[in-house]
Chain A
Amino acid sequence: MNQMVNSTSIKTRLLLVIVAALVGMLAVSTFALMSEKSTMLDDRKVKTRHLVEAAYGVLVHYYDLQKTGALSEEAAKDAAIKDIKAMRYGQNDYFWLNDFTAPIPRMVMHPTVSALDGKILDSEKFNCATSLQAGLDGTVEKTDGKKNLFVAFNEVANKAGSGFVTYNWPKPKAGGGTTDELYSKLSYVKKFDGWNWLIGSGIYIDDVESIFWQRATWLITIVLFVAVLIGSLMLVLTRSITAISERLGKSNAELEEANQRLQKLDQMKSDFLSSVSHELRTPLTSIRGFSQLIDREFTRSFAPLAEEDAGLQKKSVRIQENLKIILKESERLTRLINDVLDLAKIEAGHTNWHDAPLQAAVLIKDAAGAAHGMFEQKPAIELRLEIEEGLPLFIGDADRMQQVLVNLINNAVKFTDQGMVTVKVFLNPEAQIQIEVRDSGIGFPQEEAEAIFDKFQQAKQGDTLQDRPKGTGLGLAICREIVNRHGGRIWAQSQPGKGSVFSLILPPAAESLVKTVEITARIAAFADGERTAAGAISGKVGKPKVLVVDDDLAVCNYFSQLLQEQGYEVITAPDGQAALVAARSHQPDLITMDLSMPVMDGRTAISLLRADTELKRIPIMVISAIPGWEAAGGDVAMSKPLDETRFVENIHLLLNDAAASGAAEPKKVHFLVLYQEGQPPAMVPGGFAAYCEVGFCPVNELSARIQAGFQGMVAIPADLLNQVDIGFINATPSLEVMIMPVPAMGVAASLIQVTQHPQETKQGEHL
């Protein structure tokens, strides 16, 4: 169906092209013919003039002979007349001579109408319409009345010595004599002063036209021939193109079918992998769990019994060792299953990527923190970070990029026994973010540098795997998939015994995103301004109280310790319900909230806290192991494992907010997001939560809000920009307006800062 439509449309298009080409050719040839016609006439005019000049030379020649006395005047004139009478050119063209006598000239010689020779040319039949051009450049003067054409010749010759005259004259007949009817003729005449004669010659315009038409016929024939040729070629081409496109359509359909089959297979592969993974996990759980239980019970109850007998003790140690092997191997199998599933998911495109603007430096610090345990096990290795300042952001999934970096660092540690692991980030000459993980380990031959990124490939030494494989053999394949998905590239360089370098490059984020981050900073600065103004009034007394909500006792203790070091008073609650009770009784300045908890989860607790008029002002920091950006209704979201520095920074930030809230003035930037009524708001200021109190407002209510005294920031999605009456905002003298483009969450928007001057507000009161 589809390819039929395609081939018909190709045919129509080709036919259109053919028609257009023919029309074009016709237009071009018509234009060429028109210009050819006028050039032909011009050419003939020039030729005639040259011929007249030549015949004039004959007159001069005999006149000179007369002057030298070689010929008498009579003889010279006769010779000249005889010579000129004999001169013919073209189809019907000749020269004539007439006397220059006034007022009416007398014919000296006319080669085709000899009856006129010696006659005064005063016959009325010579009165006709003429057009005169004196000289070569003289203007053309037309006489439509009855003018004696020989008088007209005289006029032209008198003015400039020579010139062109158009008039009507009979044509000479083939057998002698002249035709009865008159033809339009263009003649050139020139005055010869020696004998006071006028010599002239002309061309019949229809002669020129007939030549023109002869040529035109030729041209048209050729054009038509070429057109027919091209047309038929095009038709042949159309046929073959149609055939080709039909064939293409067919193979397209086949490809489509093959693609669908492949997709089905892919789906089957994914389903297969996920069910295999499930089926493998259950027996693995038993193997791992029971070997652990056996180990525990054996160590607890049986090993002490064996202590008395040396032989039994040896056996008991062996049993324990063997159990450890089962445990280790089941752990390895688990990792392998996880990696296979992970890679299959990425390859099948089933991964949910949580893209956000990221700082390479932060990621590297986080990854180094996560790999900390590895370095503790190998104290002979030192970790060094070389981080360039002021690198651009890039867009990516923080958890996935973290996975890549942790994997690279782990690999480096795995294959290094002593020395240094260096993680470096810098902007390379191509302005891309480049991260290098360098180690001083065993390295591998450079020929294997590509293959190690393939599945189940680890660098070999000789033909045997050196030692036993340390890992699942999928880590680097996963890394490559992740880096590729971020539009980057990963590669390795190494030499056996000289260590290796794993490098990856990532394209920096687009300018617009950098803008978003700038905007966040601007909003923060705006909020800071208000805060310091308000903070000055509200000097708060006593230690700030923080309520830590987490079901994990260890986490609670850890947070409490961190916060107490910062000089905060800490209360803890193990679940959402306990948190609500504690919040009411202690009125904390800040709450940190875990999301998944028994009795009442964090999400529910936050919505209940926000619904409570007394408690809704307490800032909430969500700390969750659940990946993703969402704050679940809190002000700031942080993920586990926790970055201590950022945790403390955010706590400070949120507490400053809260300190300002003691004053009557608002502590956050009021942030209005405009939307079209009936449509959901296009922009959600995700990263702005710490600074903004976000409200949503239909676009047509903006004026009312501003008149009601709204101050703060207005975010306008780009598609609404035209509908916002910025003119109105400007027209009010009391308002300071700043407009800035904001791309937020992928939607280009504008940010308007609305500030009201106090004195102008007074003016408003007058109104």
Chain B
Amino acid sequence: MTEIAKIAIVDDEVHIRALLEQTLEDLDGEPEILTAANGAEGLALIERERPQLVFLDVMMPLMNGYEVCAAVRSNPDLAATTIVMLTAKGQEADRTRGLETGAHHFVTKPFDPDEILDLAREILQAS
């Protein structure tokens, strides 16, 4: 892995974005962390920056997480992007819907920052 990893955080809550940013700062290789405050902005960011990993909130204004996820999955250029959905519900139906739209992982809020860190490490290692 010669180039610097890129991670996108798409969430409308400023504190959650801050929390994720601070959590991910501990990653080795100091990956570039990009943020977006709504779905539409998030999709534009992902298409422009092509991050390896996206943390994607479900309930957001303008475009929800499922829609962003489906749009990313339908774009063959973004096949290498791993999507981790941050769901507030953790309900089975939401998981199924997320899996159908092409999300790879689910993290239920409130999450454990260590869990996020482990997950990110693993995903970045695999890619």
Q: Which residues of A contact B (CB under 8 A)?
A: 274, 277-278, 281-290, 292-293, 330, 334, 338, 341, 352, 551-553, 574-575, 595-599, 601, 603, 626-627
Would you call A292 and B99 a contact (CB within 8 A)?
A: no
Q: Which residues of A contact B105 (CB under 8 A)?
A: 596, 598
Does B104 lie within 8 Å of A601, measured CB to CB?
A: yes
Q: How far is the CA of A57 from the CA of B78 in the complex (A)?
A: 132
Docked pose: A277 CA to B113 CA in angstroms: 20
Report A-chain residues with C-beta under 8 Å of the C-beta of B82.
Answer: 598-599
Q: Are A286 and B88 in contact (CB under 8 A)?
A: no
Does any Cβ of A come within 8 Å of B62's Cβ? no
Check B110–A598 contact: CB distance below 8 A. no
**Residue among A281, A287, A288, A553 making CB contact with B88, cutoff 8 Å:** A281
Q: Are A293 and B99 in contact (CB under 8 A)?
A: no
B127: Cβ under 8 A from any A Cβ: yes
Given A281-B110, A599-B82, A601-B102, 20 new contacts (CB under 8 A): A277-B89, A281-B88, A282-B88, A283-B15, A284-B110, A285-B15, A285-B109, A288-B111, A292-B113, A292-B114, A352-B92, A551-B122, A551-B126, A552-B122, A596-B99, A598-B82, A598-B104, A598-B127, A599-B79, A599-B80
Q: Which residues of B contact A282 (CB under 8 A)?
A: 13, 15-16, 88, 109
Q: Bits for B91-127, please: 1 = Cβ < 8 Å to A, else 0.
A: 0110110010011111001111110000000110011
Query: Are B95 and A599 interface neighbours, CB within 8 A?
Result: no
Which residue of chain A has its CB nearest to the CB of B102? A601
Which residues 1-28 in B have Cβ within 8 Å of A in the complex?
A: 13, 15-16, 19, 22-23
Q: A278 and B122: CB pair below 8 A? A: no
Q: In chain B, what residue has the closest Cβ to A327?
A: B112
The answer to whether B99 touches A626, judged by C-beta atoms less than 8 angstroms apart, is yes
Would A599 and B126 count as touching, CB distance under 8 A? yes
Q: How far is the CA of A274 from the CA of B94 in the complex (A)?
A: 12
Q: Known: A595-B99, A596-B106, A598-B82. Is A293-B113 also a contact (CB below 8 A)?
A: yes
B90 at the interface (CB under 8 A from A): yes
Contacts of A341 in B (CB 8 A): 89
A281 / chain B contacts, CB cutoff of 8 Å:
88, 109-110
Contacts of A574 in B (CB 8 A): 126
Residues A553 and B122 in contact in the complex (CB < 8 Å), given A290-B19, A601-B99, A626-B95:
yes
| Chain B residues touching A, range | 20 to 34
Known: A595-B99, A601-B104. A292 touches B112 (CB 8 A): yes
Please, which residues of chain A bring their CB within 8 A of the CB of B102? 601
A-B contact count (CB 8 A): 88
27 contacts between A and B (CB under 8 A): A277-B89, A278-B89, A282-B15, A284-B109, A285-B19, A286-B16, A286-B19, A287-B110, A288-B110, A288-B111, A289-B23, A289-B110, A289-B113, A290-B15, A293-B113, A334-B110, A352-B92, A352-B93, A551-B126, A553-B122, A595-B99, A596-B103, A596-B105, A596-B106, A598-B105, A603-B99, A626-B96
Asked if A278 contacts B99 (CB within 8 A), the reply is no
- Complex-state Cα separation, A352 to B104, whole angstroms: 23
Most chain B beta-carbon neighbours within 10 Å: one of A286, A289, A597: A289
B104 contacts A596, CB within 8 Å?
A: yes
Question: A151 CB to closest chain B CB, in angstroms?
Answer: 110
Q: How far is the CB of A332 from chain B (nearest CB, A)?
A: 12
CA distance A287 to B112 in the complex (A): 11
B112–chain A nearest beta-carbon distance, Å: 7
Assembly CA distance A574 to B125 (angstroms): 10
Please indicate the chain B residues that have their CB under 8 angstroms from the CB of A626 in the complex.
92, 95-96, 99
A285 adjacent to B126 (CB under 8 Å): no
B111 contact set on A, CB distance < 8 A: 285, 288-289
A551 to B113, CA, bound (A): 19
CB-CB under 8 A from B104, the residues of chain A are 551, 596-599, 601
For B92, B102, B109, B127, which residue has the most chain A Cβ atoms within 10 angstroms? B109
Interface 0/1 of B34-55, CB less than 8 Å to A: 0000000000000000000000
Cβ B88 vs Cβ A277 within 8 A? yes
Chain A residues near B110 (CB-CB < 8 A): 281, 284-285, 287-289, 330, 334
CA gap between A330 and B109 in the complex, in Å: 12
Known contacts A289-B111, A330-B110, A598-B126: A627-B16 contact under CB 8 Å: no
Across-interface contacts of B16 in A (CB, < 8 A): 282, 285-286, 289
- Looking at the assembled complex, report how far the CB atom of A279 sits from the nearest CB atom of chain B, in whole angstroms: 8
Residues of A within 8 A of B122 (CB): 551-553
Which of B79, B95, B99, B103 has the largest count of A CB atoms less than 10 A from its CB? Answer: B99
Contact B90 A338 (CB under 8 A): yes
Tell me the smallest distance from the CB of B50 to a CB of chain A, in Å: 15
In the complex, A761→B87 CA distance in Å?
A: 62
Q: How far is the CB of A443 from chain B (nearest CB, A)?
A: 35
Q: Once the chains are docked, how many angstroms separate the CA of A352 from the CA of B22? A: 38
Cβ of B59 within 8 Å of any chain A Cβ, yes or no, is: yes
Q: Considering the chains assembled together, what is the distance between the CA atoms of A595 and B123 in angstroms?
A: 15
Chain A residue, CB-CB nearest to B11: A282
Least CB separation from B86: chain A residue: A285
Complex Cα distance A341/B96, Å? Answer: 18
